[in-house]
Chain A
Amino acid sequence: MDMINLTIDKKPVTVKRGTSLLAAAAQVGIKIPSLCYMKLEDLNIENKPGGCRVCVVEVEGRRNLTPACCTDVAEGMVVSTHSIRAIHARRTVVELILSDHPTDCLKCAKAGNCDLQSMAQHLGIREIHFEGEKSTFREDTSPAIIRELDKCIRCRRCEMMCNEVQSVGALSAINRGFNAVVAPAFEMNLDHSVCTYCGQCVAVCPTGALTEKDNTGAVIRALSDSTKTVIVQTAPAVRAALGEEFGDEPGTLVTGKLAAALRRLGFDYVFDTDFAADLTIMEEGTELLSRLTAFLGGDKDVKLPMLTSCCPAWVKFFEHQFPDLIDIPSTARSPQQMFGAIAKSFFAEKIGVNRKDLVVVSIMPCVAKKYECSREEFSENGNPDVDFALTTRELAQLINLANIDFKSLPDEDFDNPLGESTGASVIFGTTGGVIEAAVRTAYEVFTGKKLQRLDFNELRGMEGIRHATIDFDGLPINIGIAHGLGNARKLLEDIQQGKSHFHAIEIMSCPGGCIGGGGQPYHHGDAEILKKRQMALYREDAGKPIRKSHENPFITKLYEEFLGAPMSDKAHHLLHTEYFDRSKNGN
Chain B
Amino acid sequence: MPKIKLSQKTIEIVKEICASFENNEGELINVLHETQHKLGYLPAEIQELIAIELNMSVAKVYGVVTFYSFFNMIPQGEFPISVCMGTACYVRGAEQILHEIKRQLNIEVGQSTPDGKFSLNCLRCVGACGLAPVVMVGDKVYGRVAPQQVRKIIAEYQEGCVKPERHEM
Contact = CB atoms under 8 A, between A and B. Distances in A.
A and B part of one assembly: yes
Interface of A: 163, 168-176, 183-186, 193-194
B62 A163 contact: no
A176 B57 contact: no
B83 to A, nearest CB: 16
Contacts of B61: 185
B59 A176 contact: no
B62 A174 contact: yes
B59 A184 contact: yes
Given A185-B47, A186-B44, A172 B1 contact: no
A411 B67 CA distance: 56
A172 B63 CA distance: 6
Nearest to A171: B59
Given A172-B63, A175-B66, A176-B67, A186 B1 contact: yes
Interface in B36-83: 44, 47-48, 56-63, 66-67, 69
B42 to A, nearest CB: 11
B73 to A, nearest CB: 9
B60 A163 contact: yes
A175 B58 contact: no
Nearest to B63: A172
Interface of B: 1, 44, 47-48, 56-63, 66-67, 69
B60 A172 contact: yes
Chain B binding site: helix, strand, loop or mixed by DSSP? Answer: helix
A174 B66 contact: yes
B38 to A, nearest CB: 22
A193 B1 CA distance: 15
A170 B51 CA distance: 12
Contacts of A168: 57
Nearest to A173: B63
Contacts of A176: 66-67, 69
Contacts of A163: 57, 60
A391 B69 CA distance: 41
Contacts of B63: 172-174
A172 B58 CA distance: 9
Contact of A169 (B44, B48, B60, B69): B60
A170 B59 contact: yes
Most chain B beta-carbon neighbours within 10 Å: one of A176, A184, A186? A186
Contacts of B47: 185-186
Given A172-B59, A183-B59, A185-B47, 13 more contacts: A168-B57, A169-B59, A170-B57, A170-B59, A172-B57, A172-B63, A174-B59, A174-B63, A174-B66, A174-B67, A185-B48, A185-B57, A186-B62
Contact of A175 (B1, B60, B67): B67
A48 to B, nearest CB: 18
Contacts of B58: 169, 185
Contacts of A171: 59
B67 A185 contact: no
B66 A193 contact: no
Contacts of A174: 59, 62-63, 66-67
Contacts of B60: 163, 169, 172
Nearest to A195: B59
Contact of B57 (A169, A173, A186): A169
A31 B62 CA distance: 38
A172 B51 CA distance: 13
27 contacts: A163-B57, A168-B57, A169-B56, A169-B57, A169-B58, A169-B59, A170-B59, A172-B57, A172-B62, A172-B63, A173-B63, A173-B67, A174-B59, A174-B63, A174-B67, A176-B67, A176-B69, A183-B59, A184-B59, A185-B44, A185-B47, A185-B59, A185-B61, A186-B1, A186-B44, A186-B47, A194-B57
Contacts of A169: 56-60
A176 B123 CA distance: 12
Contacts of A175: 66-67
A337 to B, nearest CB: 29
B51 to A, nearest CB: 8
A170 B56 CA distance: 11
A106 B64 CA distance: 36
Contacts of B57: 163, 168-170, 172, 185, 194
Contacts of A185: 44, 47-48, 57-59, 61-62
Nearest to B43: A186
A69 B57 CA distance: 28
B49 to A, nearest CB: 13
Contacts of B56: 169
Contacts of B1: 186
A19 B4 CA distance: 51
B121 to A, nearest CB: 14
A194 B59 CA distance: 10
A171 B58 CA distance: 9
